[in-house]
Structure 1
Amino acid sequence: MSAKEIERLDGIGLLAERYQVFLLDQFGVLHDGQAPYPGAVEALSALKRAGKTVVLISNSGKRAKPNEDRLLKLGFEGGSWDHFVSSGEVAWRRFDGMATAGALPPGTKCLLISRDGDRSAIEGLPLTLSETGEDAELVLISASEGDRYDLDHYRRLLGPAAARRVACFCTNPDKIMLTSVGPRFGAGEIADLYESLGGSVTRIGKPYPAIFDAALVLAGEPDRGGVVCVGDSVEHDIAGGNGAGIATALVLGGILANRSDLAAVFDEHDAWPDYVTASFSFR
């Protein structure tokens, strides 16, 4: 994709005049994992009052409901979005379909890489948790604890499974995550590590088509000319939106907050947004 003219905005008010359907990232756009960004709660509610269809689309390894519950706890208004699509939800439904079809035998030993002991990614699935890579029959990378461990921790844990070419799924392709102690490596970086150790990984989430297709189905299969994807990651939100044939807006308050060489980032990922805005606020 070649470079294009990028329109700089002061908030999302102009987008509300131009688009009917909004696919919104959460981390780095609505909140930083600890608190909403200034103006984000009001902006999300304003979109719904304006009659827009709002689908939150997130590279979270958790299913939709835990994510929605967190938004409510952070102070976002219930009903200010129509649907929530997480990569964890898309993956769970895929695994459930595999189990129903007999492709995922009951009792399959799963090494789950998650955060804070969270098991929501596999609840209701016929899997048995494995604590090590030695006997795992499936590896699921749903989150990173990169603020707690270094990559060597994951290398030791995953090495035996990768050496045996155990199938691995990553339901959060983000390579960088925002934490209370600053940016750290995300689940996507752990997936890259698994591949470097000899394993193969199936990635589910942005920028891959399945999560965008799921979001657009929930939005009623709208004309893509009336859809805009808003996110803070060029690699995931902008590249994914480009691939889906929809407009994109890059918010600079997340992982790119301190980057001044944006053109180099766009070139690196061969992905260019239609719009750039400093924040997700309604102006």
Structure 2
Amino acid sequence: MTLPHALTGLGDIAGDYDILLCDVWGVIHNGRESWPDACEALARFNREAGHVVLISNSPRPSHDVVAQLDRLGVPRDSWRAFVTSGDATRAELAKRAPGPAWIIGPDRDWPLYEGLGLDVAASAESAAFISVTGPVDDEIEGPEDYRERLAAGAARDLELICANPDRVVQRGDRLIYCGGALADLYESLGGRVTMAGKPYGPIYDLALHEAAALLGRVVDRSRVLCIGDGVVTDVLGANKQGLDCLFVAQGIHGDAARGDDGKLDPARAFDLLKAETTYARYATLDLAW
């Protein structure tokens, strides 16, 4: 692996790509507010170069997340299609209907299950499988709050479907736990886990299908750029798909890739990537044109 090339802005390479598969949380917003420079960079790519497909590990269907983007002030012209881990996971859940499913997650994620014909189990003892979107109260809960309950599922050899592979995301100036952290714990307990979001293939199949529809032709994968701040989700997913990647090194990593001069230090960004045996062709602290 070599050091990622430090970009001054997306405009430096926009002409090399037809499609951007861009992460959402940590790249264009932090759960509290959107970042105008990032949104404008995507909107300008749409105007001048190609098409932006947002690709998010949100456990909800994409149509349900659009309202959140609107509330956060993400302009509609900064994206042209949107796919989520929830979209990809619904196919996995439908295969297992009627269950029953033992569901773990906040009420806001219930649109994931609409129309799938799933029965709901009260606990692991009466479930056919487990479905996790994240902690019920992610403001105060983490994986250890679920150890005893998940251990009961692992003891019964229940499969766990995780609708959000992210371990953590940034909410304002805090990091909060996501479904992937609970899935990690479940695997450590000997449980079986299935995921369809980043870095796994199903969500990329959906995203590239949307890209082909926008282009009106087969996608040239050499002209697709993935953008994201998650090393084990965004970057690893791009690597598995053989796609170029722009690593947004601030995001959930804070100042870990910032040099003493306040700018991106490619060597520090490389260390973050190398720790997970991943590679990004480009890196930047924040997305901008």
Residues 183-239 of structure 1, C-alpha deviations (whole Å, 9 max, x = no match): 133211100111222311012211112211221122114111111000001211111
Task: Give the 3 Å change call, closer, same or farther, for CA 105–170 of structure 1 in structure 2.
Answer: closer
Q: Is the counterpart of residue 139 in structure 1 residue 130 in structure 2?
A: yes
In structure 1, C-alpha distance between the alignment counterparts of 2:163 and 2:223, rounded to whole Å: 28
2:278 matched to which residue of 1? 271
In structure 2, C-alpha distance between the alignment counterparts of 1:94 and 1:147, rounded to whole Å: 28
2:143 matched to which residue of 1? 151
1:17 matched to which residue of 2? 15
1:113 matched to which residue of 2? 104
Q: How far apart are residue 253 of structure 1 and its match? A: 2.8
Q: Is the counterpart of residue 229 in structure 1 residue 220 in structure 2?
A: no
* Equivalent of 1:83 in 72, 81, 84: 81
Letter in 1 for 2:67: D
- On the 8 A contact 2:15/2:49 being kept in 1, the answer is no
Q: How far apart are residue 25 of structure 1 and its match? A: 0.1
Q: How far apart are residue 95 of structure 1 and its match? A: 2.9
Q: How far apart are residue 88 of structure 1 and its match? A: 0.9
1:172 matched to which residue of 2? 164
Partner SS state of residue 121, structure 1: helix
Q: How many residues align?
A: 273
Partner SS state of residue 118, structure 1: helix
1:163 matched to which residue of 2? 155
In structure 2, C-alpha distance between the alignment counterparts of 1:116 and 1:180, rounded to whole Å: 21
Structure 1 ranges of 4+ moved more than 3 A: none
Partner SS state of residue 120, structure 1: helix
Q: How far apart are residue 172 of structure 1 and its match? A: 1.1
Letter in 2 for 1:147: E
- On the 8 A contact 2:183/2:193 being kept in 1, the answer is yes
In structure 2, C-alpha distance between the alignment counterparts of 1:277 and 1:222, rounded to whole Å: 26
- On the 8 A contact 1:10/1:278 being kept in 2, the answer is no
Flag structure 2 segments of 5+ consecutive residues without an equivalent. Answer: 213-217, 258-267
Task: Give the 3 Å change call, closer, same or farther, for CA 82–187 of structure 1 in structure 2.
Answer: same
Higher helix share: 2
What's the TM-score once normalised by structure 2's chain length? 0.88
Residues 4-41 of structure 1, C-alpha deviations (whole Å, 9 max, x = no match): 24211122111312211100000110100111124122
Q: How far apart are residue 181 of structure 1 and its match? A: 5.7
2:35 matched to which residue of 1? 37
**Root mean square deviation of aligned Cα:** 1.8
Partner SS state of residue 86, structure 2: helix
In structure 1, C-alpha distance between the alignment counterparts of 2:153 and 2:233, rounded to whole Å: 27
Partner SS state of residue 39, structure 1: helix
Letter in 2 for 1:255: I
Task: Give the 3 Å change call, closer, same or farther, for CA 165–251 of structure 1 in structure 2.
Answer: same
Report matched runs for 1:193-208 at 5 Å: 193-208=185-200
1:247 matched to which residue of 2? 244
Identity of aligned residues (%): 33
Letter in 1 for 2:147: R
Q: How far apart are residue 276 of structure 1 and its match? A: 0.7
Report matched runs for 1:46-57 at 5 Å: 46-57=44-55
Task: Give the 3 Å change call, closer, same or farther, for CA 235–226 of structure 1 in structure 2.
Answer: same
